[in-house]
Structure 1
């Protein structure tokens, strides 16, 4: 065991340094996302979704840095990443709308002016919708209309359509009536 440690002393030191740096980076990014979520009064489930995205980013960075630390050359890493991204690219081309909705969900986390509980009107010429935002997921919004009908609306479309705020936080107003 001691021989193994002495043989790979430099790689082990790099590994420990990478882990420490990535843990610090993860804490900083998660804290920033939490502060943005709290300041913007974003639902905690949406903030947790950002935490998942941060974890994926940290994992990809870790894989790349560990590969270098353990002696894999840039040419081999390039082959691995290009092959992986080629396969992923073909797969994502087939399901581009899912990627578009996830990207829209991330954009909405930081800049969507409406909150869960707000009643909105979506100005869509084919299917106008007036409903309360019940939940905001990674791929779509859950909208409940006055008849109690649940509509799922894709995130990428909500960013492309004109949206009007009809009533702020309907759930709070309903709670006032019951007092």
Structure 2
């Protein structure tokens, strides 16, 4: 068989396995996390993180199938890690918001469903946390408006958790 045809078959197999693993992971992780009584917002973030890791694995496998050298993959990974390292210090970059979302997930007491006050002299906000994404915290005000605040800004402002949602 020609090399090109073998690569196509391997690619199709990798993608099929990825789709199967994607749904198995989603169901198994959600089921096991529900049994541990972890909040819905945290479960959602854990599932997204596992999906990101499995997607990265699939990309590396596909790159190796199509002949990308290990050195090239290492250079690419090094570049990504350097960008993430810079993002830890770059206050307004998109990568700093992603890094901030991970820190908010593991280290901040606010959760989806909590009522919070953002203590800002110029732009105070109060409302319920509707969603925590990789880039923004979405706050639903009493007027029904959705206010989005960048995750990196959450670390610069004082936040008061007025009312915690129970598990």
Deviations, residues 104-140 of structure 1 (Å, cap 9, x unaligned) = 2233333442233322122223323222223333321
**Which is higher, the Rg of structure 1 or of structure 2?**
1
Provide the rounded CA distance (Å) in 2 between the counterparts of 1:144 and 1:24: 35
Which position in structure 1 is the counterpart of 2:156?
Answer: 160
Structure 1 residue 166 displacement after superposition = 1.6
Q: TM-score scaled to structure 2, two decimals? A: 0.58
How many residues align structurally?
158
Structure 1 residue 82 displacement after superposition = 6.8
Q: TM-score scaled to structure 1, two decimals? A: 0.55
DSSP 3-state at the match of 2:101: helix
Structure 1 residue 65 displacement after superposition = 4.2
| Equivalent residues of 1:131, 1:144 under 8 A apart | yes
| Equivalent residues of 1:135, 1:142 under 8 A apart | yes
1:82/1:133 CA distance change after superposition, 3 Å: closer
Residues 44-59 of structure 1 mapped to structure 2, 5 A cutoff = 47=44, 50-59=46-55
Which position in structure 1 is the counterpart of 2:141?
Answer: 145
Deviations, residues 121-164 of structure 1 (Å, cap 9, x unaligned) = 22223323222223333321222333444321112222332222
